[in-house]
Structures are given as structure tokens and as C-alpha cells.
Chain A
Amino acid sequence: MAPSARRRPLETAGPVGVFALFIGFWYFMSYVGMSEGRRFLVPAPHVVLNRSFFGIGSAAETTPAVRSTMFKGLLLSAQVAAVGLLIAILLGMALAVLMSRARWIERSLYPYAVALQAIPVLAFVPLIGSFFDFNFRSRVIVCVIIALFPIIANTLFGLVSVDAGMHDLFTLHGASGRDRLWRLQFPAALPSIFTGLRISAGLSVIGAIVGDFFFRQGDAGIGRLIDVYRARNQTPEMFGAVILSALLGIAVFWLFGLLSRRAIGRWHETTGQR
């Protein structure tokens, strides 16, 4: 547990160094990689931040509107991702529990869960639009479809790979199926469930952005803004929107890492620091 309090210098210096390299590369691409006339294609980091968020100097007029549009879009996409993820979690865990109850249920359902993963979801997307609408609902459905599989697969794996000796204990004491599920299988599956949650949380953000690209009714999410700024050649703003969506993904991933440590860090080895 202690290492987090006494981090070795390299543990912070490493990532910071890589980040600096990345920013350096970005500047290099902008000022050396691009000619004067094409520089607008890769605007330098400070230009992106200024035009999108800070609005100092020449950007002062346009930036406030851009900024508020972007944050609204971000909020909307975050909502789509959150609702989609929540549905995926409930549905996925329920399906996994069902499949863990009986072999035949698993055999009947699992191939379709796999298919959901194997079929490129983009091929589905136009269909979803024609069944539902081109707004919030369809974006959420895209999220659910993208985020569902890791939840099902990891929950099911966790539920069925409980140590046989522990099952014996419960058998010896005549445990009911309910007791076995809630006192044995479910807690034993938690580390695996959280692995699935972290993956799906990231995917739900991707789902929200992808859904945005396709379903263009209603308010714009951050994904659609990326597309709009691209179409209007507002490259700094486009980069800004990309950064926001990346931050959303990172925040969600971090949040679930934190939740996981909170929930199982005390007894599960691999969630702590290495």
C-alpha cells in the first residue's frame, strides 16, 4: 500500500517526460512539418487551447460561444455515455447471471453476445436510426451495443470460474442457489466485473461519439462538433473538441479505476499499486 506515498521519482518523471515529448512532437509537426500555408492543418497546442477555451487576443470574440457550445456538447455526450453504460451494465450483468445459471441458457445466448462483438457496429447504425430516431435514444443504443459485450463476458467468466473448493464449502452446508450467487459467485466475480466495467466505460464514450456522427437530430454532442468544425475548416476548434472527448474518456477510465480500488482494493491484489 505504502508505495503511493513514497513514489520513486521515475514514476512521475516518466509519464511527464512522455507527455512533454508528445507536445514537443506536436509543435515540431506544426512549425517544421507543415509549410506556412498548410500550418492551419496542424495548429500548435497553444493556438488550439486559446481558440477553443481561453480566447485571448484575436480569438476573444469567437471563443466564448465556441467554448460554451463545446462544453454543452461534452455534457450531452457524457450523458449519452453514462445512460448507455448504465443500461449496458444492468443488461449485461443480468444476462451473465442468467447464463451462469444453466449451461443451455449460456449456449443459447452467448453466440449472440459474441456476434454483437464481432459484427462491426457501424454496419448496424443506419438500421438503428430507421427503427428508432436520429436523436438521443439512438445514440444511447449505439453505446449499449458497443459496451455490452465486455460486461457480459467478464461477469460470466467471474461467475463461473469460482474455486471448486469454495463451491464445496457451500454444498456441504446446503447453501441455496441464492446464497451461492450472492455470497460466493458474485463477490468472487467482482475483480473480473470491474475489469469489464473499465473496458466498457471507455467503449461507452466511443459509442457516444460514434452515435453523434450518425444521428444528427437534436443538440450536437462533442462528436458531432468534431465533424462540424472539420467541415468548416475550423481546425483549432476541431482539435479542441478532440481533446475534450479524449479527456472524457480518460476521466471515465480513471473514475472506474478509482471505484474498483475502493470496492475491492482491500482484498484483491492486482488493483493496488505494483
Chain B
Amino acid sequence: MASPAAAPHRDTDVLLSVCGVSMTFPDGTHALDDVTLDVRQGEFVTIVGPSGCGKSTVLRIASGLLAGATGAWELADDNLGYVFQDATLLPWRTVQRNVELFCELHGVPAKERTERASEAIDLVGLGGFEQSYPRRLSGGMLMRASLARSLVLHPKLFFFDEPFGALDEITRERLNEELLRLFLLERFGALFITHSISEAVFLSTRVLVMSSRPGRIVGEYEVPFAYPRSDDLRFEPEFAELCGRISHALRDAHR
């Protein structure tokens, strides 16, 4: 685990560093206790932990959505992709117009906006649904649209807060593979949150285990499998073995 002492070692490829962050909400809820982690270029870091342990809170603090934490954190770049569990598409906009949203907010000219959106929509496999409204899309398609919306800005770092949590197993596994394809293609760093250990292991270069509230990082697991990873990986004994170890750690963290 990285510690504050390792700070001088920090170099240009660190996309996110979180150092000794604690958070107590105004109502007295002690959510985070001395959380330290970082995400480097080319890394896919996943946090698993019991429900309510403060995983989302870490992302919200680091992204600047939540104020009031103590400690130090730094994003290398303001351009951050952030995908929530709910797709949070604007229901009054078509897929195309939803994907254009961030470009609009950043003042990208209309023509370029349209091109970039079309490109991102194709990239997530939603071609042909540009003019559909969100209420016509399935859960999986909504997540694809949500991904495309962040991809248009080509961020170097992505936060994913349980993006596939509400999807069925098959859809989730399909999207895992597609996410890895995008990860290799776009070469972003990722900080991912999930409750599914197999999802965590399948996607990540590194898995962090968080304790129940107040959340602390209590375990760190390097995932040794090379990319690109195929679905068959899920059936390898080493995969199952690593999942088992993380599962144990998680069970301890629950106490």
C-alpha cells in the first residue's frame, strides 16, 4: 500500500493520489478513516467493500463533489470521466444529444460535438440508437450511453461507481469485456467500485479491500493476469483462487 512517505516516489504517471483522507459528515457519521490510495497511468484499480463503508464517498471527495474531508488528494487532470450506478441520462434528450452534453458544457463547437458524439456512440456499440430516447433503452444500453457520454472528452482517468450493479449477470459480463476493450484502446486509468469480486478481479490490475465504516483500506491485491483478458479467464483456477482470497479478506472486513 502506498503511504504518505512514498510521496517523493510519485511521478508524472500518477493520475490520482489520495493521501490520509478522513471524512466525518456534519451529522457525525464517521465515513472514512485515513484512506490512502493512488491510481497510475494504465492501472485499473478496484475498491470492494461492505455496503455503506464509504466507497462512493472516496470518489465524491476526490472528484470535488463532496467538501469537508481532511487529508490530501490530487487529480493530475481536471478532465475526469465519472460513471454513476444510475446512467443519469437526461430523459428529454436523445442518446446523441445526451452524449453531446459535456461538449456543450465545455463550449465545443456544434460540428465537432456531433462528430465526437457519433464516434463515442459507435465505440460503445450503440450505433443506430442515436435518435432514441433513454426510456426506450434497456439497462445495458443506458450504461453504454452513459459511458459514451464520458468518452467524448477522452479523459485520462475514469471513476466508475458500481456502473453495472443493476444489470443481470450476462449483460454485466458482456459489458466488462467491452470496458476492458475501451480501457486498452483509450489507455485511461480507472478507479472502479463494485460489490462483485469476480468483476473486480476480471477487470483490475489491483483490487483494494475496504473495511466497514469508518472505511479504511485493509487489503491490496495485485491481479497478475495479462491483458487482453478473455471471458475464459473466469474459469481458470488462479482466478478462482484470487477471488477466494479477496472474499476472505472482505469477510474479515465486515466484522
- A positions within 8 Å CB-CB of B: 163, 165-166, 168-175, 179, 183-184, 187-188, 190, 264, 266-269
A-B contact count (CB 8 A): 48
Per a CB cutoff under 8 Å, which of A174, A179, A187 touches B90?
Answer: A187
Cβ–Cβ < 8 Å partners of B65 in chain A: 168, 171-172
Find B88's partner among A163, A174, A175, A190 (CB 8 Å cutoff). Answer: A163
What is the distance, in angstroms, from A171's C-beta to the closest C-beta of chain B? 6
A70 to B4 alpha-carbon distance, docked (Å): 85
A257 to B202, CA, bound (A): 51
User: B102's closest neighbor in chain A, by CB?
Assistant: A173
Q: A165-B86, A165-B88, A187-B90 are in contact. Are A170 and B135 (CB under 8 A)?
A: no
Chain A residue nearest to B134 (CB atoms) is: A267
Report chain B residues within 8 Å CB of A266: 133
Q: Whole-angstrom distance from the CB of A34 to the nearest CB of chain B? A: 54
Q: Do the beta carbons of A173 and B106 come within 8 Å of each other?
A: yes
Q: Which residues of B contact A166 (CB under 8 A)?
A: 88, 90
Chain B residues near A171 (CB-CB < 8 A): 64-65
Q: Does B84 contact A (CB under 8 A)?
A: yes
Known pairs A172-B80, A172-B82; A183 contacts B88 (CB<8 A)? no
Q: Which of A175, A187, A267 has the most CB of B within 10 A?
A: A267
CB contact list, B46-89 vs A, under 8 A: 63-65, 80, 82, 84, 86, 88
B91 close to chain A: CB less than 8 A: yes
A179 to B106, CA, bound (A): 11
Chain B residues near A184 (CB-CB < 8 A): 90
Does B92 sit within 8 A of A, measured CB to CB?
Answer: yes
Residues of A within 8 A of B104 (CB): 179, 183
Expressed in whole angstroms, the minimum distance between the Cβ of A192 and any Cβ of chain B is: 13
Which positions 12-26 of chain B face chain A at CB distance < 8 Å? Answer: none
User: Are the C-beta atoms of B135 and A267 separated by less than 8 Å?
Assistant: yes
A216 to chain B, nearest CB (A): 46
The 8 A-B residue pairs with the shortest CB-CB distance in the complex, in nearest-first order: A165-B88, A173-B105, A187-B92, A267-B133, A267-B92, A267-B91, A175-B105, A173-B102
Contact of B92 among A172, A188, A269 (CB under 8 A): A188
- Which A residues lie within 8 Å of B63 (CB)? 172
User: B95 to chain A: closest CB distance in Å?
Assistant: 12
- CB neighbours (8 Å) of B157 from chain A are none
Q: How far is the CB of A182 from chain B (nearest CB, A)?
A: 11
**A contact residues around B88 at 8 Å (CB):** 163, 165-166, 168-169
| Contact status A269-B135, CB under 8 Å | yes
Closest to B105 in A: A173
Can you list 10 A-B pairs, Cβ within 8 angstroms, ordered by A?
Answer: A169-B88, A172-B63, A172-B64, A172-B80, A172-B82, A173-B106, A174-B105, A175-B105, A267-B91, A267-B134
| Sample of 11 further A-B pairs with CB below 8 A, known A163-B88, A179-B104, A184-B90 | A165-B86, A166-B90, A168-B84, A169-B101, A173-B102, A179-B105, A187-B92, A266-B133, A267-B92, A267-B134, A268-B92
